[in-house]
A and B are shown apart, each in its own frame.
Chain A
Amino acid sequence: MTTTANPTRGGLTARALPPENLVTAGEVAAREGTAGRPRAADSSAARRAAGSVPSAATGGEAAHPTAVDSGARHHRPAGRLVGASVRRREDPRLLTGRGRFVDDLHPAGVLHAAFVRSTVAHAEVASVDLADVLATPGVVAAFTADDLGLGDISARLARPVEEFVPTDMPILARDRVRFVGEPIAIVIADDAYAVEDGLEAAKVTYRTLPPVVSDTAALAPGAPLVHDNAPANTLVDVAMFATPGIDEVFAGAACVVRVRTKTGRQNALPLETRGAVAEWIDKDGQLVLHTCTQTPHQVRTVAARSLGLDEQAVRVVVPDMGGGFGIKCVVGREEIAVAAAALRLRRPVKWIEDRKDALTASFLAREQRYDARAAFDAEGRILALDADVVCDMGAYSCYPFTAGIEPLMASAEMPSVYRVPAYRVRGRAVTTNKAPTAPYRGVSRPQYVMVVERLFERAARELGLDPVEIRRRNVITEFPYTGVNNITYDPGSYRESLDLCERLVREEGWYEAKAAAAAEGRHLGIGYSCFSERTGYGSAAFAARKMEVVPGFDIAEIRMDTTGAVTVTSGTQNHGQSHETTLAQIVADRLGLDLAKVRLQQGDTDRITYGWGTFASRSVVVGGSAVGRAAAKLADKLLVLGAHLLGTEAGEVELAPGGGVRVRGDHARAVPYTAIAEIAYLKSNLLPEGCEPGLAATASFDVLDDGTFSNATHACVVELHAGTGRVEILRYICVEDCGVAVHPQVVEGQCRGGIAQGIAGALFEQVTYDDNGEPSATSFMDYKVPTALEIPDVAIHHLETPCLFTETGAKGAGEGGTIGAPAAVLNAVNDALAPTGTELDDTPVTPETVRNALANGPRAAAAPTGEEDR
């Protein structure tokens, strides 16, 4: 279904673009005289010359270019909505407290559910005694796995058992628990306080088993098994690519560098925890499950299977959502249990996860270990990349991605934006007695980009090259480019974003600031990261991972009513990304309508045939193209009917701005959409022969090749404080290219929010466990989510290399910020640490490690880490 080229964009590749076409919005604005180039450069350089470096957190205004006037992006014809930062249509209700989130739903007679959860990491369940629970005032019912008899959640890869060991996740644990927090029983009471009382009265006895609490313990010979059918606790083990002769390349290379790193386990942490309200509706013969999921149809499919119902007997409805970031794009066992309880009791049941459960017992992500080597020639050209990736996926495979989600992403895409001639990777998912994992914004890319970018920085240091220059010599500049990983990269601005980002850092005077700081004995560092991000994975890409369920396409339907207004349904699922605005912009443009005449509906499996929701930066690529195509189909019918009313042929007419059909070259001869809608519905006797009543169209979109890659370069300037070990971010610059930005302000919002999450992973957040597998971060006291004092302002500059096959030229923009930030921050920290000779590769970088590194003193005092066995 993929179009090979958008006619309006055909041939406009980055290669074909003369350099002057790759300009920032700020530059365009400057040319047009509407806004200045970043004003920061001069004034902040002057200030630094006077010895004071403005801080990002306080008084740093001068150091921060005012956000570019997004409306000034080029290529946007007057009147076109795509490319305009119109007011978000979601905002009025969210600003006035009239949004409707899952916990705002309060059906009459609603009961409240909570879960008896395992208090041990690994055990056989000897007995569950709920008698006292049932005797607790207010408690209505309590069910165990045996009571409900539900089918398990089973996620599969079509790979041989040497590569993938299938495991099933029961809705409620039966005879075995595999992590602290695993649900064992559901308790239902008449209010949310009574249900907590009930939980306290539960008596569970365990026959404990030795827990497996790290990837290394999981892989140790003779380790206890988390799943009896998974030898060596390995759920996924793939060896890929292995370019012939790669060992000889390493043996003969001028420079070989190595990075070994471990990244901390994180929680995606939407501010709204998970939750569901389920209710059986007799009139419709349906179980209605209101749940804050990114993927409503997927939840319906799994819920129906687990409950033993036809899918038409389950309706999943998604209210407003307080974020997701991936944790809500897999099916949660709790939402199914709540549905089962509502079915059983024939009363509405609500479950709202508390923060402790969200932190310890939901889905986590990101705990990975890399051992990576890269070979370079003497000029700094990369010759080979060899990596071993181990991902600690916790107790179960998530649906539908499986435990392969992280290792397969890392293995497939690790060569990143560079021309890597030889590549070998082994990717493993190990299972441990910790909460399971789900995709989290960026999925492995924050980690492998960090590893690759560290390899380049280290090679630059070894070879005496500038770290930007070594990247420049290696980034892909010819497109389409098919890499050693068999992926074809569509046009991007890898080199241009790198050049511009470095220029901005230089112009703002940060290199001088670094030198001045060093002279004063302070520790400033500058770090970059250069990366691309495959967005809008289609069926082909997921099938290539050998997923049995391939969440690729999307279907959109459009209806015009008698007032000429349109209702569009999309299978994507907004949870903060502004789809009600951006997808409506696309449709309004296609039909020449006012934005107010277009309404988007999502998140109701009864209204939409099927859809895959929102994750993997797919919505504008796949969903946006589907709504665009549906609108184009509707336009075809409007043209036929308009021509009929105008007494001419469809070939003679065109859509008129404002909503109508007119004769080409004779604009006075026109009919408004309302007149067309009138014959389509109210006077169908006037329809031309063979034309069906109604104005509706359905279209789908899928990406059947390797998809489209957004790209960016980030730069970060940090100062390390010797006394406290604090890493202070003084400056953050992002030069991004997501093709045509449908709504530039929203793109910038995605960048900034993503960068904040990337910084959080680099410097602050980590879920740790003690030796017994007990999670140590159970509240926001221990899980350190950064605030406005830790997250800097971000200067964003746009480049635009349009996607050749999406309806708008847009590429995805949801994850890039998170992907680029850890590498930029870590490289900046290491740049600041360079005089000490210590290199830090693990995240999060804690104040303690920074303090110790600074205390180590000059290079002579300590051997570089991570290279001792080179």
Chain B
Amino acid sequence: MTAESTAQARTGYRERQLVVLDVNGTEHEVLVEPRRTLVDVLRHDLGLTGTHVGCEHGICGACTVLVDGRPARACLMFAAQAEGSAVRTVESLAGPDGELSDLQEAFTRHHALQCGFCTPGFLMLAEGHLAACPRTDKAEIREVVAANLCRCTGYQTIVEAIDDCARQRRNREED
């Protein structure tokens, strides 16, 4: 009844725009359709596949990145909306030699990840929260963690890891 289209992919008449993004301190220029989301640009145009997609409708938080330091759902933003902002992804957390940050260390110590699919989202959520509220406590962390979904861990160890990291940061500050 149907077969391959004989024509080549008809790509010609899709409108594109040049978007300039600051991601993890590096400037990138991408030519994309206006409807292209930030998460798709990060993952598929810039190759930063650490940011994940679990729902594309703003609930699961797997796509959480920092936009000007604040956690944001990269699936709910068009790439163009991130122009002029500093975007940070999970790829920015470890040291240049791959050394894990204190937050990442806390996650592995507490077994706060199993499949790891939700993990980049939780890391960026926590990174944003700890920067904004260094005096946070466990109850507050639990509320923040409730912004994202994890299907594997039952959340307890994620809360514990973030709380542990927060305490250690405070201790270091006091020293």
Tell whether B104 is near chain A: CB-to-CB under 8 Å. Answer: yes
Q: How far is the CA of A128 from the CA of B2 in the complex (A)?
A: 9
Given A97-B89, A190-B9, A785-B149, is A779 in contact with B50 using a C-beta cutoff of 8 Å? Answer: no
- A781–B59 CB distance below 8 A: yes
| Nearest CB of chain B from residue A275's CB, rounded to whole Å | 10
Residue interface mask B126-153, A partner, CB < 8 A = 1: 0000000000001100110111111111
Tell whether A756 is near chain B: CB-to-CB under 8 Å. Answer: yes
Considering only residues 1-31 of chain B, those with a C-beta below 8 Å from chain A are 1-5, 8-14
| Nearest CB of chain B from residue A593's CB, rounded to whole Å | 22
Q: How far is the CA of A273 from the CA of B117 in the complex (A)?
A: 10
Tell whether B53 is near chain A: CB-to-CB under 8 Å. Answer: yes
Choice from A95, A189, A355 contacting B113 with Cβ under 8 Å: A95
- A756–B154 CB distance below 8 A: yes
- A779–B59 CB distance below 8 A: yes
Choice from A61, A322, A344, A355 contacting B115 with Cβ under 8 Å: A322
Residues of B within 8 A of A88 (CB): 108, 111
Considering only residues 110-153 of chain A, those with a C-beta below 8 Å from chain B are 128, 130-131, 133-144, 146-147
- B149–A138 CB distance below 8 A: no
Considering only residues 646-662 of chain A, those with a C-beta below 8 Å from chain B are none
- Which A residue sits closest to B116, measured CB to CB? A94
- B55–A355 CB distance below 8 A: yes
Tell whether A378 is near chain B: CB-to-CB under 8 Å. Answer: no
- Which B residue sits closest to A58, measured CB to CB? B139
- A272–B115 CB distance below 8 A: yes
- A752–B56 CB distance below 8 A: no
Given A101-B52, A789-B146, is A147 in contact with B116 using a C-beta cutoff of 8 Å? Answer: no
- A130–B114 CB distance below 8 A: no
Q: How far is the CA of A269 from the CA of B117 in the complex (A)?
A: 12
Residue interface mask A32-71, B partner, CB < 8 A = 1: 0000000000000000000000000111010000000000
Given A97-B49, A144-B1, A787-B149, is A753 in contact with B138 using a C-beta cutoff of 8 Å? Answer: no
Residue interface mask B61-105, A partner, CB < 8 A = 1: 010000000000000000000000000011101100010100010
Residue in A96, A140, A575 whose Cβ sees the most chain B Cβ within 10 Å: A96
Considering only residues 711-761 of chain A, those with a C-beta below 8 Å from chain B are 745-746, 748-749, 752-757
- B123–A95 CB distance below 8 A: yes
Residues of B within 8 A of A322 (CB): 52, 54, 115-118
- B153–A749 CB distance below 8 A: yes
- A355–B56 CB distance below 8 A: yes
Q: How far is the CA of A97 from the CA of B90 in the complex (A)?
A: 6
- A190–B11 CB distance below 8 A: yes
Q: How far is the CA of A135 from the CA of B5 in the complex (A)?
A: 8
Tell whether A99 is near chain B: CB-to-CB under 8 Å. Answer: yes
- Which B residue sits closest to A137, measured CB to CB? B10
- B107–A91 CB distance below 8 A: yes
Residue in B52, B91, B120, B145 whose Cβ sees the most chain A Cβ within 10 Å: B52
Residues of B within 8 A of A140 (CB): 4-5, 8-9
Choice from A58, A101, A193 contacting B36 with Cβ under 8 Å: A193
Tell whether A192 is near chain B: CB-to-CB under 8 Å. Answer: yes
- A94–B3 CB distance below 8 A: no
Q: How far is the CA of A147 from the CA of B94 in the complex (A)?
A: 49
Residues of B within 8 A of A137 (CB): 10-14
- B35–A96 CB distance below 8 A: no
Tell whether A108 is near chain B: CB-to-CB under 8 Å. Answer: no
| Nearest CB of chain A from residue B46's CB, rounded to whole Å | 12
Residue interface mask A564-584, B partner, CB < 8 A = 1: 000000000001111000000
Tell whether A375 is near chain B: CB-to-CB under 8 Å. Answer: no
- B114–A753 CB distance below 8 A: yes
Choice from B35, B62, B104, B157 contacting A752 with Cβ under 8 Å: B157
- B115–A321 CB distance below 8 A: yes
| Nearest CB of chain A from residue B94's CB, rounded to whole Å | 5
Q: How far is the CA of A91 from the CA of B94 in the complex (A)?
A: 13
- A753–B152 CB distance below 8 A: yes
Choice from A130, A781, A788 contacting B146 with Cβ under 8 Å: A788
Residues of A within 8 A of B108 (CB): 87-88, 91-92, 95
| Nearest CB of chain B from residue A174's CB, rounded to whole Å | 11
Q: How far is the CA of A25 from the CA of B100 in the complex (A)?
A: 30
Residues of A within 8 A of B50 (CB): 96-99
Residues of A within 8 A of B93 (CB): 95-96
Q: How far is the CA of A534 from the CA of B90 in the complex (A)?
A: 40
| Nearest CB of chain A from residue B137's CB, rounded to whole Å | 9
Residues of B within 8 A of A133 (CB): 2
Residues of B within 8 A of A354 (CB): 56
Choice from A99, A146, A271, A746 contacting B151 with Cβ under 8 Å: A271
Residues of A within 8 A of B13 (CB): 137
Tell whether B44 is near chain A: CB-to-CB under 8 Å. Answer: yes
- A271–B11 CB distance below 8 A: no
Q: How far is the CA of A57 from the CA of B91 in the complex (A)?
A: 31
Choice from A128, A577, A779 contacting B55 with Cβ under 8 Å: A779
- B104–A791 CB distance below 8 A: no
Tell whether A323 is near chain B: CB-to-CB under 8 Å. Answer: yes
- B49–A787 CB distance below 8 A: no
Choice from A59, A136, A147, A752 contacting B154 with Cβ under 8 Å: A752
Residues of A within 8 A of B104 (CB): 95-96
Tell whether B159 is near chain A: CB-to-CB under 8 Å. Answer: yes
- A793–B156 CB distance below 8 A: yes
Q: How far is the CA of A137 from the CA of B27 in the complex (A)?
A: 30
- A130–B2 CB distance below 8 A: yes
Considering only residues 775-811 of chain A, those with a C-beta below 8 Å from chain B are 779-781, 785, 787-789, 791, 793-794
Tell whether A170 is near chain B: CB-to-CB under 8 Å. Answer: no
> Given known contacts A134-B5, A271-B54, A272-B115, what 16 new A-B pairs fall within 8 Å (CB)?
A58-B142, A92-B100, A98-B50, A99-B116, A135-B5, A140-B4, A144-B1, A193-B35, A270-B151, A355-B54, A749-B111, A753-B152, A754-B154, A787-B147, A787-B155, A794-B156
8 contacts between A and B (CB under 8 A): A128-B2, A140-B4, A144-B1, A193-B36, A323-B115, A780-B55, A788-B143, A791-B154
Q: Which residues of B contact A (CB under 8 A)?
A: 1-5, 8-14, 33, 35-36, 40, 43-44, 47-57, 59-60, 62, 89-91, 93-94, 98, 100, 104, 107-109, 111, 113-120, 123, 138-139, 142-143, 145-159
